[in-house]
Amino acid sequence: MYKSTKVRDDIVWIGVNDRKIEKWESHIPLDYGVTYNSYVILDEKICIIDGVEEGENGDFFRKLEATIGDKQVDYIIINHVEPDHSGSINSLLKMYPNIKVVGNTKSISILKLLNINIPDDRTVIVKEKDVLDLGKHKLTFYLMPMVHWPESMATYDMTDKILFSNDAFGSFGALDGAIFNDEANLNIFENEMRRYYSNIVGKLGAPVNAILKKLSSVEISCICPSHGLIWRKNIDKVIEKYQKWANIEAEEEGVVIIYGSMYGHTTEMAEILGRQLDERGIKNVYIYDSSKVDISYLFSAIWKYKGLMIGTCTHYNMAFPKIEPLLQKLENYGLKNRYLGIFGNMLWSGGGVKRVKEFADRLTGLEQIGEPIEIKGHVTPNDKEKLIELANLMADKLIADR
């Protein structure tokens, strides 16, 4: 057993890396793969916390057997029923005749919907703050509805102060050797964690805040999520990030410019905005062509920076086809606390910019900067002046916040 897979001498990571998976929940690209983290506690009673995706059971069971040998497993705690964690249950039930599935009332009923039927005598139903005694380790439970499903919960090891947080504090990205945050290069993980948060639970700020409040008085030495790195250092920093994301507060000064363009005119507008923001000393300026960049990356960037500028050409009186789903998703998630600039283009009939404006008017938590700019065809010198003025207004707002 690798020393570095031990969370403690008697708590071992038996998670698996999935580098083959193309898309999370069939729609979010996973360029860096993903982990399904699972943990086994070796005590008088042997307890697994969360299983893995069914297709990854081979590696999971190899690690489990390498850790416990021919001992029996007593419990599998299902913090969350989504198949990336419940995919091992049927096999565990067959392999370990005495194993019991630990979950809350909701989790057991949702398991049935996934055709995982557990006999009553092999089920342990727990409520908030119930205690599961393994011997040395005493585990308790914190319900965290809608982080990420209604039945989601976290398991807390009262003995070692470890929080098994399931999807909370999770991240995309397979683990490239290191499993602890202090051993890994965080460059990719910080972005993948935000991309995971903003897309998977970005809509669920209130439930995330509720669990953060619940845990605020709990001493935590280590956070073991079900995806991504284990956080055993700088825990306060990761909690602080979560708090910001839950409140949809930007992390940094900067402007994300996202546009949709068919003939290059809206692209030209975006370039002018970017250049002027640079002239004004705004360092974090990122321009994205919506036709090429997946919406999950756009969401992650929007969650990070305070300024947002959305540009669109007109497509049959609507916004560009790749901008439309972005607007819908942002509205559904209730984006707020951002400065927003709107720009776009038309040839003979408008509608694209109007569509973005209507979206912005409905999201009352956005502060619109200046008036939307909609130009006809190529950018004239007069149009360029208007765009420079819009960029200046955005820069003024950001600079005033310093």
Distance of CA 339 to the CA centre of its chain: 22
Site for ligand FEO in 129-168 (CB under 6 A): 148, 167
Q: Is 194 in the site for ligand FEO (CB under 6 A)?
A: no
Q: Is 354 in the site for ligand FEO (CB under 6 A)?
A: no
Distance CA 43, CA 135 (A): 6
Q: From the CB of 61, what's the least distance to ligand FEO, in Å? A: 19
Q: Please identify, among the stretches 77-85, 134-142, 285-293, 318-326, the one whose residues bind ligand FEO according to the rule CB under 6 A.
A: 77-85
Q: Is 84 in the site for ligand FEO (CB under 6 A)?
A: yes
Q: Please identify, among the stretches 78-86, 130-138, 260-268, 370-378, the one whose residues bind ligand FEO according to the rule CB under 6 A.
A: 78-86
Answer whether 144's CB lies under 8 Å from 151's CB: no
Q: From the CB of 171, what's the least distance to ligand FEO, in Å? A: 11
Among residues 43, 56, 74, 82, the one that binds ligand FEO under rule CB under 6 A? 82
Q: Is 226 in the site for ligand FEO (CB under 6 A)?
A: yes
Q: From the CB of 308, what's the least distance to ligand FEO, in Å? A: 27
Q: Is 192 in the site for ligand FEO (CB under 6 A)?
A: no
Residue nearest ligand FEO, Cβ-based: 82
Please state whether beta strands 11-13 and 39-41 pair in parallel, antiparallel, or not at all (unpaired): antiparallel
Nearer Cβ to ligand FEO (80/304): 80
Q: Is 50 in the site for ligand FEO (CB under 6 A)?
A: no
Q: Please identify, among the stretches 8-16, 79-87, 122-130, 182-190, the one whose residues bind ligand FEO according to the rule CB under 6 A.
A: 79-87
Q: Is 104 in the site for ligand FEO (CB under 6 A)?
A: no
C-alpha torsion angle, residues 196, 58, 37, 32 (rounded to 10): -30
Structure tokens at 209: 């805040």
Distance CA 344, CA 78 (A): 49
Q: From the CB of 65, what's the least distance to ligand FEO, in Å? A: 24
Concatenating the DSSP letter of every residue in 278-332 gives HHTT---EEEEETTTS-HHHHHHHHHHEEEEEEEE-EETTEE-TTHHHHHHHHHH
Q: From the CB of 302, what's the least distance to ligand FEO, in Å? A: 22
Helix (H, G, I), strand (E, B) or coil at 352: helix
Instruction: Give me the count of residues in the chain.
Output: 402
Give the H or E element holding residue 354.
Answer: helix 352-362
Strand ranges in 247-289 using DSSP code E only, listed in sequence order: 252-260, 285-289
Which spans of this chain sit near ligand FEO (rule: CB under 6 A)? 80, 82, 84-85, 148, 167, 226-227
